[in-house]
Structure 1
Amino acid sequence: MIEVLLVDDDALTLELHRTYLERLDGFHVAAECTGARAAVAAVLERADRIDLVLLDVTMPDGTGLDVLRHIRARGADVDVIAITGVRDAEVVRQMVSLGVSQYLVKPFPFAMFSERMNQYREYRQRAREAAGTPTQSEIDALLGAFRPTMAAPLPKGLSGDTLERVTADLRAHEPVSAGESAQRLGMSRVAARRYLEHLVAAGRAVRAPRYGTPGRPESEYRWQA
């Protein structure tokens, strides 16, 4: 389980991010803070229990930059993703120089939040797999885990919410056929195939023939990270 510290001075934003995280597998909100000083204290006191900080930049008693400078100076190597409405290029540069993994600009839809959190989860998994003396390909994959992907535009008739459901089903049960996904999600086989083919077109899934099944040839789909 990835333990997350939420830092934002707005209570509604904290609630929103908590709700978003509760919809994702593998994440748990360890603590919440509404100020910079509290965030520094929380990180330093729970250094062995916090894996990730979702950090606001602008707060009444300091900035996200202040938080990062303090915790890095004290040797805390916790992962940090900035979540803020600040769009200043110099702030972005300084945040990155202090070890921010990603910079997510508010407001954003759940789909974008989910993608970035899944990228982070993949990064941690790849980091564990590449422990020791990783190969060049493992290093490239690790560095590429945070690289944002460009989503293909949804064709007419496809729903973003349904696409999220199909994507989650694919990732949980791969390899899947359109029929299997349709049965689990309560939709038609034709509709499930449209969503799966969209993921293939977007480079997020791969299609291959499924051998050894009776009747006409069937395709199966696998998630492509």
Structure 2
Amino acid sequence: MVIAEDSVILREGMVELLTARGCEVVATAGDADGLLSAVADHLPEVAVVDIRMPPTHTDEGMRAAVRLRSEHPGLGVLVFSQHADTSWAARLLAGDPAGVGYLLKERVSATADFVDALRRVAAGGVVLDPVIVSRLLNNGTRPLDRLTPREREVVDLMAQGHSNRSIAGLLVISERAVEKHVASVFTKFDLPATDADNRRVKAVVTYLQEVGPRG
């Protein structure tokens, strides 16, 4: 993986922690240009990107992340920041959403959870902090009105990267019930019967795009 973080202490700390967990860090970068070059040179499975990086410390990292998604379609991108920006989250998820993550630094309490998120993103999954999902959800949109409250809970947890088994445990319902809710979400979002994993990703993206900010 490649890590892009302008704080030297945090960057080196992440390298040490992730290496100890068996992850291979092939390069690090302190700015957006360095990130783009590192990915082009090493072609990693996943890039960890902070939003605000030099020189202006506004949105250079996120702009680079969106560019990487365009130039390297197979690359997993995990945004790891203290800033919850729903407009950029929606843009990052536009198009093919596979392999995207957005986590808030202060809410990741265990290295194991972060490593798990990295592996899911590298494998093509979608991992979003509940705060990001909640802020997108609060914007509201008509298509979501098709869903029952339970279906909204299920797709919300899907957007956070939970499996059907995990959702069943969190909602204290059977896994079969979750499967029925997921199937209903597919139907209400007008997703044709294709590969199950692909439909799941599309359902999450549809959900997030619909609750995202209007331009």
Q: With structure 1 as the length reference, what TM-score do the two structures score?
A: 0.48
Structure ranking higher on relative contact order (CA contacts 8 Å, 6+ apart): 2
Q: Name the one with the larger strand percent.
A: 1
Q: Name the one with the larger helix percent.
A: 2
Q: With structure 2 as the length reference, what TM-score do the two structures score?
A: 0.50
